Structure 1
Amino acid sequence: MEIQSYIGNFAPQLSLHERALRIFESLDIAESSRTDYKSRIWMFLEFIQAHPFNQNSFLEFKRYLAARNDIAIATKSKYLTVARVFLKELNRQGIIPADITQNVKSFQQTKKHKKFGLNQEEVNLLLSELNRLPESFSNVRLKAIISLLVFQGLRQIEVIRLNVEDISPGQMTALIHGKGRDDKEPIDLHPRSVEALKHYMDYCKVRSGPLFVSSSNNNQNGRLSTKSIRNIVTAFLKNLNIDNSTHGFRHYFTTKLIELFSNDLLTVAKFTRHKSVETLQVYNDNISRKNNLPKYYQAFNE
């Protein structure tokens, strides 16, 4: 049976993809999640259009993803999650008669970080190179962005959500719209972050609205996107032969604090704003593993 047979009475004038987007619009979720769902649902829609839709379609889609060698397990999990959310909502709205996602497990992933953050040598190098850059809109903006990544450990989405009104240089604080949160929370700014932000706002004459804006012709003075932030930062890292990502800064920030506060994870969580101390334990385990490597090497050298 084709999926259209089930949802034919739901906005019949729209294509299947358009109907799926309409479904996501009705969900009470963060806009970042909605955008992610909309961008990933296409794979499941293509799958069910190519295969008869039945009570095992979700399980079959999982097996299809599992058999693909060109997609990382983390990405497979995201595609599966989007399909699960979509099908559950179809059932909740009475569009399909049953929740066919029940008893189908998610992909199992290790909690260990597969990618590591920047190390101190790399951070020292990029900060040194930043100081050598000539002053321009792009360079001053880059310095401000990297200050928030290095000294505050902000996520990409948190950086782009910042407004000028969220920054209080005098009080050395900022209001952050964090991941999965409905309201903003105050954080303390490092003196070097305050210095970089004040210089950026003065030099680039950013007075109100989005803190980080574009200088491109297509989006003049519009808010930067997460993709723009990622491209700006990774291009700078690539020029320094540093093979890492924007999230590598958060790994660096978190690891640095765990080492500084002697594994006091509750204190570290207040600065990193991790909801779960269990997540921080993964960082702690990585630090312990690295510290124990010399003993492991020595054991077999003898």
Structure 2
Amino acid sequence: MKYSYEQLSQQTTLFLQLLSVERNLSNRTLNAYNSDLHCFMCWCRNSQVETLDQNTILSYFHYLQSTLKQKASSIQRKYISIRQFFHYINQEGLSTERFFRFSTRKFQLPKNLPRTLTTAEIRKLISVADAQVCRSRSSFHKILNIRNSVVIELLFCLGLRIGEISALNLAHYDSEDRTLLIHGKGRKERLLYISSPEVIKKLNNWLNIRNELHPVTDAIFLNRYGDRLSIYGIENLFHKYRDLSSINPSSTPHYLRHSFATQLLNNGASIRDVQELLGHASIVTTQIYTEVSIDRRRQVLERYNARNFLFDGGELK
């Protein structure tokens, strides 16, 4: 297929429109596709590519690996974006070239286990957040500290992503049913029940004083100016309490989500239940938490490991 920057730019626009209509993707995801394709086309132009084929694409991914030394996760995302784009090119009859004769095995992701906080660290984090409410320098700071305490609680109590907390609106909370309507990735919705009476009490207390920040939005969580609390604001407040509580200095808000999932499995929840609560599209994503659920492994080994009964006089099965 002859390379033309102008033609590919036009087809990229049509491809993104198709994704938006057929798959109802979020603007963030569409922007990621657009960025991946734009970077590829710029590389083609700068490399003076004349023909697009499998070797061209393979050279581009070699460039990402060897020259830019990008992470495996970034390369795999670009692989998916570009592969889907050229599948669209084939479907539209613009080329019969087989562009992808290599698989993602060339860009295997390292298997990183989810990072979690210990129960003691979580307890300390929540306690420090509560203590800051009592130590507030002014009524204004007390309002912000009450808000912060609730955010920390929801990160762990429901295993929410920071983007999901930022996106919460007043209409998403049903105080009678004690539920929150969560808008997750891919515009998927899930309804979660707040099981902790203490968290419900804190959330209702925050909502009772929320108007003192003079809201200009219907977001549940506001910044000091009355606008929606951003994901960066949530990250900053987590880092503040993380440092004050002297827990793992490398931890992020996502550690609480990982801890939530791992402890559910440790306490006997099924992996299907955890999948639904986390809002994972595939159970494969959820299965990684079984790798860090040491309590369940301990139970299996204590109950079934033949070495435990080797000299008890019984027959090994």
Q: In which range does the TM-score fall when normalised by the shorter chain?
A: 0.7 to 0.9
CA displacement, residues 82-129 of structure 1 (integer Å, 9 cap, x when unaligned): 3334444455456x524654323122224x434412221221111111
Alignment match, 2:258: 251
2:165 alignment partner in structure 1? 159
In the TM superposition, residue 222 of structure 1 has moved relative to its aligned partner by 3.5
What CA RMSD, in Å, does the superposition of the two structures yield over aligned residues?
A: 3.2
Q: Is the 8 A contact 1:74 1:109 kept in 2?
A: yes
Of 19, 27, 32, which aligns to 1:27?
19
Contact 1:24 1:86 in 2 (8 A): no
Worse overlay, 124-133 or 229-238 = 229-238
What's the CA shift for 1:62?
1.6
Q: 1:233–1:90: structure 2 CA closer, same or farther, 3 Å change rule?
A: farther
Q: 1:264 to 1:114 in 2, by over 3 A?
A: closer
1:210 aligns with 2:226: no
* CA gap 1:250/1:76 in 2 versus in 1, 3 angstroms: same
Gaps of 5+ in 1: 11-18, 296-302
Query: Secondary structure in 1 aligned to 2:180?
Result: strand
Higher deviation after alignment, 98-107 or 189-198: 98-107
User: Does the Cα contact within 8 Å between 1:149 and 1:250 map onto a contact in 2?
Assistant: yes
Aligned 8 A contact 1:166 1:175 in 2:
yes
- 1:271-296 per-position Cα deviation (integer Å, ceiling 9, x unaligned): 3343444433321222249966xx9x
| More divergent stretch after superposition (273-282 vs 187-196) | 273-282
**Overall identity of the aligned pairs, in %:** 21
How far residue 181 of structure 1 moved from its aligned partner, in angstroms, is 4.1
1:103 aligns with 2:109: no
Structure 2 residue identity aligned to 1:213 = L
Q: Which amino acid aligns with 2:4?
A: I
Q: 1:264: which partner in 2?
A: 270
- Classify the secondary structure of the residue corresponding to 1:180: helix
Aligned twin of 2:73: 74
Higher helix share: 2
Which residue in the other structure is 1:236 paired with?
A: 241
Question: Deviations 1:4-32 (Å, cap 9, x if unpaired)?
Answer: 26447x3xxxxxxxx85675344224213
Aligned equivalents of 2:267 and 2:296: distance in 1? 16
Number of matched residues? 277
Superposed displacement of residue 150, structure 1: 0.7
Quote how far apart the aligned CAs of 1:239 are: 4.4
Partner of residue 45, structure 2: 49
Moved more, 22-31 or 170-179: 22-31
TM-score, length of structure 2 as denominator length: 0.73
Q: 1:199 to 1:260 in 2, by over 3 A?
A: same
The one-character-per-residue Cα deviations of 1:179-227 (angstroms, maximum 9, x if unpaired) are: 2344x33211132332222122222226972222333xxxx44434434
Give 1:260 shift.
0.8
Matches within 5 A, 1:1-302: 2-4=3-5, 6-7=7-8, 10=10, 20=12, 23-28=15-20, 29-31=24-26, 32-51=28-47, 52=49, 53-56=51-54, 57-68=56-67, 70-93=69-92, 96-98=94-96, 101-106=99-104, 107-110=107-110, 112-133=111-132, 134=136, 135-182=141-188, 184-190=189-195, 191-205=197-211, 209-215=218-224, 220-241=225-246, 242=248, 243-261=250-268, 264-288=270-294
Partners of 1:88 and 1:99 within 8 A in 2: no
The 3 A distance-change label for structure 1 pair 163 and 5 is closer
Distance in 1, matches of 2:3 and 2:279, equals 45
Instruction: Indicate the SS of the match to 2:176.
Output: coil
Gap change, CA 1:162 and 1:93, over 3 Å in 2? farther
Post-superposition Cα deviations, 1:111-166, rounded to whole Å, max 9, x if no partner, equal: x4344122212211111110111253432222222111110001223222211111
Deviates more, 1:226-235 or 1:129-138: 226-235
1:256 aligned partner, one-letter code: Q
Alpha-carbon distance in 1 for matches of 2:147, 2:185: 23
Return the TM-score normalized by structure 1. Answer: 0.77
Distance 1:248 1:196 in 2: 22
Offset at residue 236 of structure 1 (A) = 3.4
Match of 2:263, SS state, is helix
Contact 1:3 1:48 in 2 (8 A): no
Of the structure 1 ranges 272-281 and 29-38, higher mean CA displacement relative to structure 2 is found in 272-281
